[in-house]
Structure 1
Amino acid sequence: MTFSGYEIASLDLGNSTCRMGLYGNGQITQERLVDTETFIAEPNSLIGEYSALPPTIAYCSVSPRAEAALKDWARASGTELFNLNARTCGDFPITYPHPDEIGQDRIANSLAAHRTSELPALVIDIGTATTFDVVGEKEGYAGGVIAPGPQGFLDFLHQNTALLPQVTMNEKKPDCAIGTNTTDAMLLGAHLGFSPMVIGILNHLETEMTRTHGKEPKIILAGGASHHLEIPGGENRPFLTLEGVALAFAQNNVVI
């Protein structure tokens, strides 16, 4: 796998998963991913999937440990890094009062939506956290909502009770809405409770954005949301974060 014909290597270091892809001709291709603990132990578990690298890797991170591992790898390999954050996002407007508090992945999602989508837009992403980001044409990144991801429901129950087991969302969803064992009961709580939570938050944000912008927002399902949610009229953009990282790098380096 090579970078021939591609301008940018784009990397997203998340709390649970690290993703990398190649950006060229306006799209992300050849996406690869590993869990974050694997990346921390050996960045080449992901980066080594590519047989050649450009001089610079563009990235965003919400995992300090993964970012430290990436920087160590970059020093050893002689690779330059571009980090997308609130100070390196070019002319993308941020009207949020505390820009340094915004997760870099949320900046990437919002920047990509601002550059490539109908506005106003509401970006929903699901990972360890579920994020809702409000993007306006003039306001750029205006704010949003942070809620637990699906796995967070299960982790909370295990970590804050004496007897409930560790359960993951990778386990098979029960066929019946009535759990007949502890694991199924916990899985049902996560599966049946998560979507109504998302829809409830979405409805409130849509109402507020329609009031302030004069029209309904475009709903964009990024990353995990594009796989876990079905929202009428929503646009699935599974690579939105990687796109935003690449677009910011391109603007800073006049690639496009």
Structure 2
Amino acid sequence: MQIIVDIGNSDAVFGLYSQATWQHIWRTPSRTDEPAGSYESRLRLWLLEAGISLSAIQTTVLSSVVPNLTPTMRSMLTTLFGFEPVVMGPGVYPILPLEILRPHEIGTDLVANALAAYTRYQRNCVVVDFGTALTFTTVSGAGKILGVAIAPGLKTAIRSLFANTAQLPEVPIEVPASALGTSTTHAIQAGVVLGYEGLVRSLLDRIRTELNGDCIAIATGGLSGSIPSLHAAFTAVIPSLTLDGIRIVGEIIGHDTR
């Protein structure tokens, strides 16, 4: 059994992988002010509720885009399971089957997305990750990360409006019935949610044009199902894709060291 940890700017995601499938996926807010013990208690409880003993965990792999949380999580996993986790970063990239653009700049989550998409499809592919940021990571069929586009995520855009305007409320991410908002809530949903549908379609069109039309698209991330009308633009919607990529890194590292 493996514990795979993806520390994002909004959430820390813990996946329990066994028998070629995700048995459990747990989420908790990413908080830099929480001690390692708080995360350890939460993970202990999740495993207890799942009926999994600590000794059953054979591998842990950590990806983090929150530098202040990385040592906390690394320490927690080492203390809990008695061995060091594999930690994604430039130090492990040379043994991955990817050519990585600017390895010290690109987020480990984007590398994980590219690795999972390349492993699964081995053709030109753009991974659209609907998270705190909306990211487009394009990987070639030869395993080269060709580039990334980044925009504020859906929740980030709505929260920015709420935080920086006096009269606009924070609203749920829902597709409105019309682009003609007849209330403040519907007006924001029309501008952000419907606007992001156009943003995604436009960027996918531009990426495909630059690759002469040879490029499939995969959606992932916690909000990947928020705009159902976009689903037809993707070959697949795979919420666990980032975790899959992190898990593959652990498997490659394990094979490399044996």
So what's the TM-score if we normalise by structure 1? 0.83
Amino acid at match of 2:9: N
Instruction: Return the alpha-carbon distance in structure 1 between the equivalents of residues 175 and 219 of structure 2.
Output: 22
Q: Which of 80, 93, 108 lines up with 2:98 in the alignment?
A: 93
**1:55, distance to aligned residue in structure 2 (A):** 5.0
Asked if the contact 2:118/2:143 (under 8 Å) is kept, the reply is no
1:244 aligns with 2:245: yes
> 1:225 and 1:132 mapped to 2: Cα distance?
14
1:147 and 2:151 matched: yes
Query: How far has the Cα of 1:56 moved from its partner?
Result: 4.0
Residue of structure 2 in register with 1:35 after alignment: 29
Q: String of CA shifts for 1:65-113, please: whole Å, max 9, x gaps.
A: 43243134235434422111233132322241x2111111001111111
Match for residue 69 of structure 2? 66
- Match 2:208 to one of 206, 209, 220: 206
Q: What CA distance in whole angstroms lies between the structure 2 residues aligned with 1:173 and 1:30?
A: 29
Aligned partner of 1:10 in structure 2 is 4
The residue type equivalent to 1:234 in the other structure is T
From the superposition, tell whether residues 133 and 225 of structure 1 become closer, same or farther in structure 2 (CA, over 3 Å): farther
Cα distance between partner residues in 1 of 2:33 and 2:118: 30
Measured on the aligned residues, the alpha-carbon RMSD in Å equals 2.6
Deviation at 1:122, TM superposition (A): 1.1
Whole-angstrom CA distance in 1 between matches of 2:211 and 2:43? 39
SS in 1 for 2:25: strand
Gap change, CA 1:225 and 1:110, over 3 Å in 2: farther
Unpaired runs of 5+ in structure 1? 1-5
Counterpart of 2:190 in 1: which secondary structure? helix
Amino acid at match of 1:201: L
| 69-78 or 116-125: bigger deviation | 69-78
The AA in structure 2 aligned to 1:240 is L
> What's the CA shift for 1:134?
0.9
Question: Are residues 75 and 23 of structure 1, via their aligned partners in 2, closer, same or farther at CA, if it must alter by over 3 Å?
Answer: closer
Which stretches in structure 2 are left out of the alignment for 5+ residues?
none
Kept in 1: contact 2:96–2:249 (CA 8 A) = no
2:117 counterpart letter in structure 1: A
Alpha-carbon distance in structure 2 between the residues aligned to 1:220 and 1:189? 24
Give 1:60 shift.
0.7
